[in-house]
Chain A
Amino acid sequence: MTNDTNHRPADAGRRDAMKCMAWAGAGVLWTIGGGVASSVLATAADAATRKAGSLDFVQISDTHIGFDKAANPDTLGTMREAIGKIKAMPVKPSFIIHTGDLTHLSKPDEFDTVAQMMKDLNVPVFYTPGEHDTLDEGNGKLFLQHFGKGSWGTGWRSFDVSGVHFIGLVNVVNLNPDGQGHLGPEQIAWLAKDVAHLPSSTPIVVYAHMPLFDAYVPWGWGTIDAQQALMPLRRFGSVTVLNGHIHQVITKTEGNISFHTTRSTAYPQAAAGTPGASPGPLKVPADQLRHVLGVRDITRLHGRGALALVDETLA
């Protein structure tokens, strides 16, 4: 029933405010409005509202093109299935956000393949790199050559769609021995300036590869300077943060900010802190694989001022 796998007792109070339910048998619907996340009973009327939503986009993540080991020897095939899933959605998304680890080894042909496959969707795609996309000699130059148009620094950017302000951050370049993702002072200063002029009623969507909250620090599932970076966003009524990296759905709310990691299209990873496990590719029985891979559809519901997140698996 619940997909909140962030089982730390300290968060129980906050988590209690959030309930979720299976939506249309395909995913889980969350609404986030006014800083409070709550579930919505999905009815036919809701589906109609959703159709008329003023904004609809998709998050895809961790496609890991180039990976071919036991956990999934055919990452190209499962990415193709994910794209098929997006094409079959009842409402065509107006754009796609790829939250990183496009490739497995940052090779030129891997980047080319991803670009080629995403073209098939015929909508704009905004990419932010994962640590697997910055392994070239130039620490991510190859990624920027392919997907960095219109971005700043190591690839961060912002844009506005239908009254929602989107901010793409990069927390994977030159990772330090401190063991987590990091944004760095230049990017943090840029972010503060980027939102300074916005009214607090503006809905904000932030996306980055590594979690911008402590998903599980012993496995590096966090960003060391995220709290500092998110400070200028505390005054906004609704902030939704979309992350990848951990190949599973974890949701957490902190005041006005809700954090959501998403599934990979390539392979699953163990639940945070599973005894004896490591944060590497997890092999599951072949008939289970498509149940743990997927994409996320995000809609801004008309008249509700809320974002609805639907996590759909490939199965």
Chain B
Amino acid sequence: MLTLTPVRPVLAIAVLAVLSAAASLSPDPRGAAAEAATPGKATVKIANFDFGPATITVPAGTSVTWTNNDDDAHSVVADSKAFRSAPLDTGESYSFTFATPGTYAYHCGLHPQMHGKVVVTR
């Protein structure tokens, strides 16, 4: 499930440097897009029994935050059991920092028909 490719440190630093340079140097006229691209952070909304977006792609080191907008409780559980949130009541959030590149499939521990995926790049 997890792709545990060893990261070459020099390349990783170079990629991060390019990413942060891009974030700080290019003034983005679309404010929302600039916010969504905040380095190190990403969000997933839980609404109407769906994870949105169902798949997100983030660089390693990103902290992903799930927020439950439903009236029912949900949870976030990695298929591999690598992470598991407490139950999230309405309005509650859970964050997990993805240090290692790979594809992380997850589901809701209460409603296992709800699926999502975090793709972590170098």
Contacts and interface: CB of A to CB of B under 8 A. Distances in A.
Interface of A: 69-71, 104-106, 131-132, 135, 175-180, 217-220, 278-281
Contacts of A69: 71, 90
A96 to B, nearest CB: 25
A159 to B, nearest CB: 29
Given A71-B71, A104-B73, A180 B87 contact: no
Contacts of A131: 109-111
Contacts, number: 59
Given A69-B71, A219-B113, A281-B72, 16 more contacts: A71-B71, A135-B73, A135-B86, A135-B87, A175-B109, A175-B110, A176-B107, A179-B113, A180-B113, A217-B113, A220-B112, A278-B50, A278-B70, A280-B48, A280-B72, A281-B71
B75 interface: yes
Nearest to A222: B113
Contact of B113 (A135, A220, A280): A220
Nearest to B107: A177
B110 A132 contact: yes
Interface residues of B, number: 22
Interface of B: 48-50, 70-73, 75, 79, 86-87, 89-90, 105-107, 109-113, 115
B93 to A, nearest CB: 15
B109 A279 contact: no
B70 A280 contact: yes
Contacts of A218: 113
A56 B41 CA distance: 58
A104 B75 CA distance: 13
A210 to B, nearest CB: 10
Contact of A175 (B70, B72, B86, B112): B112
